């Protein structure tokens, strides 16, 4: 049972344009959402997060949007840069007490010069 | 802080052999997680510990898998006997208790069972 889904295995974007990565979830008990970035041969690194009480969080070129009614999360990167090429994982936490993160399958983002 | 440290980085073993993966979490973190990365399922949570106590091992695929955390600075994930379908990248991560905290990952162990 995949509670967090990233339906696009890959995405290709031109440098300077906006990259939009999507994530859907099924568990309404999730209270905290995160995006991780992963380069080859490295572990995932935290990128940005959002609490379920908010609908938007921005950090520089990265913005995460949360639509609770649709159970949908998205990450916007603008402008996209070649160094953004990586695999992006969406993650969700069941509740604060558990600290357990459930991850999606990942989306491979390629930024073309 | 050196971050989460995993060893070995790569492991190649023959089917039927025992494999032990090791993890040293970030000092002061009270949660430790073991994940497995596959193409189909992304990052699967296998098991996690809180204050060295296993909390949820529902993700452990079979009885061939076991994990221990004898103290706050060390954990092992063991596969005995190993099978080719266990080939994957295994990640260890740690975090501390808090309302909005992220998990920090190690660099992973790439396991190949031939």
Q: Which two tokens stand for residue B62?
A: 């079979």
Cβ pairs bridging A and B (under 8 Å) = 60
Mean pLDDT of chain A: 94
- Tell me the pLDDT tens digit for each residue of A66-106: 999 999 999 999 999 999 999 999 999 977 666 788 999 99
The pLDDT assigned to B39 comes to 79
Mutate: best of B98, B103, B108, B110, partner A, most A CBs <10 A: B103
- Tell me the pLDDT tens digit for each residue of B16-61: 999 999 999 999 999 999 999 987 788 999 999 999 999 999 999 8
The answer to whether the CB atoms of A43 and B100 lie below 8 A apart is no
The pLDDT assigned to B71 comes to 96
The pLDDT assigned to A96 comes to 62
The answer to whether the CB atoms of A100 and B101 lie below 8 A apart is no
The pLDDT assigned to A2 comes to 74
Separation of alpha carbons A23 and A47, rounded Å: 15
B29 phi and psi, to 5 degrees?
-80, 140
Surface-to-core class of residue A16, CB atoms within 10 Å of its CB (0-12 exposed, 13-18 middle, 19+ buried): exposed
User: What contacts A36, CB < 8 A, 6 or more positions away?
Assistant: A44, A45, A46, A47, A88, A89, A91, A103, B105
- Tell me the pLDDT tens digit for each residue of B70-94: 999 999 999 999 999 999 999 999 9
Please give, rounded to a whole number of angstroms, the shortest distance from the CA of A59 to a CA of chain B: 16
The pLDDT assigned to A70 comes to 97
Between B40, B102, B105, which is nearest A43 by CB? B105
């Amino acid at each position: 049972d995949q509670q967090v889904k990233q339906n696009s295995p890959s995405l290709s974007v031109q440098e300077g344009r906006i990259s939009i990565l999507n994530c859907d979830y099924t568990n309404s008990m999730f209270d905290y959402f995160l995006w991780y970035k992963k380069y080859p041969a490295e572990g995932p690194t935290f990128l940005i997060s959002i609490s379920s009480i908010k609908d938007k969080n921005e950090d520089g070129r990265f913005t995460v949007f949360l639509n609770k009614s649709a159970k949908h999360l998205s990450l916007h990167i603008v402008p996209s840069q070649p160094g953004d090429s990586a695999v992006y994982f969406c993650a969700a936490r069941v509740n604060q007490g558990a600290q357990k993160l459930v991850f999606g399958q990942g989306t491979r983002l390629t930024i073309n010069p | 802080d050196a971050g989460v440290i995993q060893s070995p980085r790569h492991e190649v073993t023959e089917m039927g052999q025992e494999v032990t993966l090791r993890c040293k979490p970030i000092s002061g973190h009270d949660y430790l997680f073991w994940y497995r990365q596959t193409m189909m399922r992304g990052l699967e949570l296998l098991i996690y510990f809180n204050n060295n106590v296993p909390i949820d091992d529902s993700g452990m695929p079979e009885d061939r898998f076991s994990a221990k955390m004898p103290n706050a600075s060390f954990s092992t994930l063991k596969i005995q006997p190993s099978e080719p379908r266990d080939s994957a990248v295994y990640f260890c991560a740690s975090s501390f208790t808090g309302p909005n905290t992220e998990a920090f990952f190690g660099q992973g162990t790439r396991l190949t069972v031939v």
